[in-house]
Structure 1
Amino acid sequence: MRQDELVGEIMIVGTDQPWLHGRFTAGPAFRDLEPLFQEELALIDHLEEEYERWETLYERIARQLRLIAPTGPVPEFLLHVQGDHAWFRWSEERTMQSRRRCP
């Protein structure tokens, strides 16, 4: 979610701990965020050289989103979206360390 707008829905289809993988169905708010997700994935391919840039971009994405589980909002998460595929990991505690060095 982005405020009250649906960014998309993820139907979990598999896991590769700690990652969950799913089919992504875009919602109305995804259109504005899709270029950020595309840029984020491009930076992952060059993370050694571009880590600070990736981190800044991902923080920009994360500030706009809330990941909602069936039990409620997830305090901390790392989410990637590519086309109709999404993968993410989450934590029940909010810590910046859980995001660092783990794209």
Structure 2
Amino acid sequence: MGFEDQIWRLERQGELVGEIVIEESDFPWLHGRFLPGPAFPAMEPIFARSLALCEAEDWDAFDTAYEEIAKTVSLASPSGPVAEFLLHIQGDTAWFRWSDDPFDE
């Protein structure tokens, strides 16, 4: 089954952070158009910081920053919530990988 055109939802405490319309899959990553929801403005600086640390390859700081995302938001595929994910958002673009089981420590 292809992922293109699927809509994945990002939520914070039941409030919509945004939706991702999948446009491309490049295993293990999915890429898509990000449609911000009402809860996104509060989360945008956290995603921006996480992405900047990733691009700077400051992995310790990235891990700490990303923990806030992982504890604050949930990601759901069309068939339901996923156990764990790694998500980046930049402008109207999002890319992520996910697992139905927790990632290895």
TM (norm. structure 2) is 0.87
- Out of 90, 93, 102, the position equivalent to 1:94 is 102
Sequence identity (%): 54
| CA–CA separation in structure 1 for the residues paired with 2:38 and 2:19 | 11
Alpha carbons of structure 1 residues 85 and 75: separation in structure 2 relative to 1, 3 Å: same
Tell me what 1:101 maps to.
Answer: none
| CA–CA separation in structure 1 for the residues paired with 2:25 and 2:14 | 28
Structure with greater helix percent: 1
Alignment-mate amino acid for residue 19 of structure 1: W
Matched, 1:17 2:64: no
Matched, 1:45 2:68: no
Matched, 1:36 2:49: no
Matched, 1:26 2:36: yes
Structure 2 spans left out of the alignment, 5+ residues: 1-10
Alpha carbons of structure 1 residues 96 and 7: separation in structure 2 relative to 1, 3 Å: farther
| CA–CA separation in structure 2 for the residues paired with 1:96 and 1:36 | 23
Structure with greater strand percent: 2
Structure 1 spans left out of the alignment, 5+ residues: 98-103
TM-aligned CA deviation for residue 28 of structure 1: 0.5
- Out of 63, 71, 76, the position equivalent to 1:55 is 63
Give structure 1 regions of 4+ aligned residues with deviation exceeding 6 angstroms: none
TM (norm. structure 1) is 0.88
Matched, 1:71 2:89: no
